[in-house]
């Protein structure tokens, strides 16, 4: 069977750390082309991975590269025009979150996917994390009862302050809430299987975008939760967490700990096998699922509609900060 020919747009950290190693580790894929405005960087990466075709112009890449699938791993503001262009050129698309930055673009994406009859696969890799999947199964099975409260976060250690597109609102769409919060919120909402009713946000904005923020969420079933993010924390290392508290037990992701109350006794349900590389495992599993969709062996689990629901929560959080009141999620 012919291998899936992939072209990668954007040769930044996520492509080098996650996509290229994962794609090369799955024999069904063949990375045939890369595209980046920094041609020298693209050339160095292509040489390392044995990729023969290089481009520094995206339309030229779409028109002339021997590819059937495009991975979009560029700054946030480029995701929407790039995915729309790839769909119009008849390519399937794997795109990092967020897919777009404005609510009016959500409908344009829906129309384009329907019109072009191509796969738009949002890179919701957090849902493929093995530790997040354990919590998802624990919650949805009812092991810890009804969820009362949950909290999640990503606190990045301030190793060195480097200016990049992430700190420029026009290119990122927002700061830590958009860049880090989208990822955390996505696997949180998925694991909980809850709809958000309202959000209330408090942000710390020292420069053009916020470097820290916390969002309080009320869910439609009456439960509540928070997520917090920051990229200016003086920790020794980055820290992510996801804690879920039910009326019959608790599930914690990092470090993994699951306990439930049964007949007056506390039972330890924590998996015995340690989960060593959840981030890298998530990308490999996500790409294997994409392969199975392409091969007709699986239905797509998560679509642009799921991704854009997360975006709506993020955008409502920004509106809440500006207005100082709760914002309702449509």
User: Do residues 228 and 273 share a domain?
Assistant: yes
- Burial per residue of 117-137, b for 16 or more beta-carbon CB atoms within 10 angstroms, e otherwise: ebbbbbbbbbbbbbbbbbbbe
Boundary-marking domain end, from 99, 123, 147: 123
Q: Do both 112 and 135 map to the same domain?
A: no
Verify that 170 and 257 share a domain, yes or no.
Answer: yes
Find out whether 204 and 210 touch, Cβ atoms under 8 Å.
Answer: yes
- Tens digits of pLDDT across the chain (330 residues): 799 999 999 999 999 999 999 999 999 999 999 999 999 999 999 999 999 999 999 999 999 999 999 999 999 999 999 999 999 999 999 999 999 999 999 999 999 999 999 999 999 999 999 999 999 999 999 999 999 999 999 999 887 667 789 999 999 999 999 999 999 999 999 999 999 999 999 999 988 999 999 999 999 999 999 999 999 988 778 899 999 999 999 999 999 999 999 998 999 999 998 888 999 999 999 999 999 999 999 999 999 999 999 999 999 999 999 999 999 998
Note whether residue 114 is domain-resident.
yes
Structural domain range at position 164: 129-282+309-328
Asked if residue 43 lies in contact with residue 34, where contact means CB atoms within 8 angstroms, the answer is no
**pTM to 2 decimals?**
0.96
143 and 111, same structural domain?
no
Same domain, 220 and 148: yes
CATH number at 65 reads 3.40.50.720
Q: Where is the domain boundary, 104, 123, 142?
A: 123
| Contact partners, residue 236, CB within 8 Å, separation at least 6 | 157
Among the candidates 123, 149, 174, a domain finishes at: 123
Residue 234, φ and ψ in degrees, nearest 5:
-90, 65
Contacts made by residues 164-171, CB under 8 angstroms, sequence distance 24+? 165/75, 165/76, 165/77, 166/75, 166/209, 167/207, 167/208, 167/209, 168/208, 168/209, 169/208, 169/209, 170/77, 171/75, 171/76, 171/77
Q: Does residue 259 lie within any of the structural domains?
A: yes
> Is residue 155, in this structure, part of any structural domain at all?
yes
Residue 141, C-beta contacts closer than 8 angstroms, at least 6 positions apart: none
DSSP letter at 268? Answer: E
């Amino acid at each position: 069977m012919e291998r899936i020919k992939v072209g990668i747009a954007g040769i930044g950290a996520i492509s080098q750390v996650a996509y290229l190693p994962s794609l090369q580790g799955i024999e069904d894929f063949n990375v045939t082309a890369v595209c980046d405005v920094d041609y020298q960087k693209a050339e160095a990466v292509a040489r390392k991975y044995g990729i023969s075709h290089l481009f520094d112009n995206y339309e030229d890449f779409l028109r002339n590269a021997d590819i059937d699938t495009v991975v979009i791993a560029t700054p946030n503001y480029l995701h929407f025009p790039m995915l729309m262009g790839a769909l119009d050129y008849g390519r399937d698309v794997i795109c990092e979150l967020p897919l777009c930055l404005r609510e009016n673009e959500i409908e344009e994406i829906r129309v384009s996917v329907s019109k072009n009859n191509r796969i738009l696969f949002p890179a919701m890799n957090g849902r493929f994390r093995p530790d997040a999947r354990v919590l998802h199964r624990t919650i949805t099975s009812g092991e810890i009862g009804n969820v009362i409260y949950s909290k999640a976060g990503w606190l990045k250690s301030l190793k060195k302050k480097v200016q990049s597109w992430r700190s420029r609102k026009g290119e990122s769409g927002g700061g830590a809430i958009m860049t880090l919060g989208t990822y955390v919120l996505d696997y949180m909402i998925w694991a909980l299987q809850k709809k958000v009713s309202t959000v209330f946000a408090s942000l710390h904005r020292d420069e053009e975008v916020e470097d820290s923020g916390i969002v309080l969420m009320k869910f439609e079933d009456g439960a509540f939760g928070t997520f917090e993010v920051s990229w200016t924390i003086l920790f020794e290392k980055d820290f992510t967490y996801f804690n879920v508290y039910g009326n019959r037990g608790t599930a914690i992701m990092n470090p993994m700990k699951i306990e439930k109350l049964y007949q007056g006794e506390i039972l330890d349900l924590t998996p015995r096998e340690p989960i060593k590389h959840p981030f890298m495992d998530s990308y490999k599993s996500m790409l294997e699922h994409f392969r199975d969709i392409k091969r007709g062996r699986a239905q797509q689990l998560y679509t642009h509609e799921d991704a854009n629901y997360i975006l709506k929560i993020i955008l409502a959080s920004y509106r809440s900060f500006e207005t100082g009141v709760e914002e309702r999620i449509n």
